[in-house]
């Protein structure tokens, strides 16, 4: 399947499974009359495969060591991308950042790495399912920078176009998206 065909099909899946109208409060605290909940798309076999394939294609030339982001939205994306990158012979490891470290066990903020692995000096991409202002992704960005990683970029599946570009520009990090919210809104 060509990237154009895959992108069109994924758009249909997101529209049918993950997009809707109705007043909601976003993670940023803002009110909106439309929403994206990408979990049904990320948990759909075809949706998950297309998200991984299109994300891999968008990132394959960025020379990445790891992909990850803030729980919960980044977890299925990072795992699917790690698996696909392995299958394509260009492995990219995965991790995720907890919203707050566990209060038991190893008490880690960054999960998915062994005791001998570190993000220090590694090129990583922060992935996110839906981005509004960028505040959630900045939490992951700060955590991996604190761990010594080089953040190559932030990549989201859907950019709501509500300030994230400015947030990441201020943080000195490139920002790209698979889709813009406007691609789903009625004309």
Q: Is 135 annotated as a binding residue?
A: yes
Residue 70 is part of a domain; what is its CATH number? 3.40.50.2020
**Any binding-site annotation on 129?**
yes
Write the pLDDT tens digit of every residue in 54-86. Answer: 999 999 999 999 999 888 889 999 999 999 999
Residue 26 is predicted with a pLDDT of 77
Q: What does the pLDDT look like over 17-54, one tens digit per residue?
A: 999 998 888 777 788 899 999 999 999 999 999 999 99
Residue 130 marked ligand-binding: yes
Position 24 scores a pLDDT of 86
127 marked as part of a ligand binding site = no
116 assigned binding-site residue: no
Rounded distance between C-alpha atoms, residue 31 and residue 35, angstroms = 10
Q: Is the pLDDT of residue 104 over 70?
A: no
Residue 149 has pLDDT above 70, yes or no: yes
Average pLDDT over residues 95-101: 82
Domain that holds residue 178: 3-183
% pLDDT > 90, the chain: 71
Is there a binding annotation on residue 134? Answer: yes
Q: Based on the structure, what is the number of domains in the chain? A: 1
Angstrom distance (rounded) from CA 19 to CA 103: 35
- Report whether 46 belongs to an annotated binding site: no
Q: Is 180 annotated as a binding residue?
A: no
Closest-CA residue to 19 (of 44, 47, 38, 43): 38
Distance CA 154, CA 132 (A): 13
| pTM reported for the whole predicted model | 0.92
146 is in an annotated binding site: no
The answer on whether 104 is annotated among ligand-binding residues is: yes
């Amino acid at each position: 399947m060509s990237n154009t065909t895959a992108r069109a099909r994924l758009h249909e899946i997101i529209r049918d499974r993950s997009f809707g109208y109705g007043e909601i409060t976003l993670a940023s605290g803002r009110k909106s009359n439309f929403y994206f909940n990408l979990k049904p798309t990320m948990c759909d076999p075809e949706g998950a495969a297309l998200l991984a394939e299109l994300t891999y294609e968008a990132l394959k030339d960025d020379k990445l060591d790891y992909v990850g982001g803030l729980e919960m939205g980044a977890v299925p994306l990072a795992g699917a991308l790690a698996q696909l990158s392995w299958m394509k012979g260009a492995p990219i490891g995965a991790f995720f950042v907890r919203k707050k470290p566990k209060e038991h066990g190893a008490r880690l903020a960054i999960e998915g790495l062994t005791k001998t692995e570190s993000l220090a000096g590694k090129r990583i991409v922060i992935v996110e399912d839906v981005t509004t202002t960028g505040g959630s992704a900045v939490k992951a960005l700060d955590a991996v920078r604190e761990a010594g990683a080089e953040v190559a970029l932030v990549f989201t599946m859907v950019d709501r176009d509500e300030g994230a570009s400015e947030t990441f520009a201020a943080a000195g990090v490139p920002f790209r998206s698979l889709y813009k919210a406007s691609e789903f809104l009625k004309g």
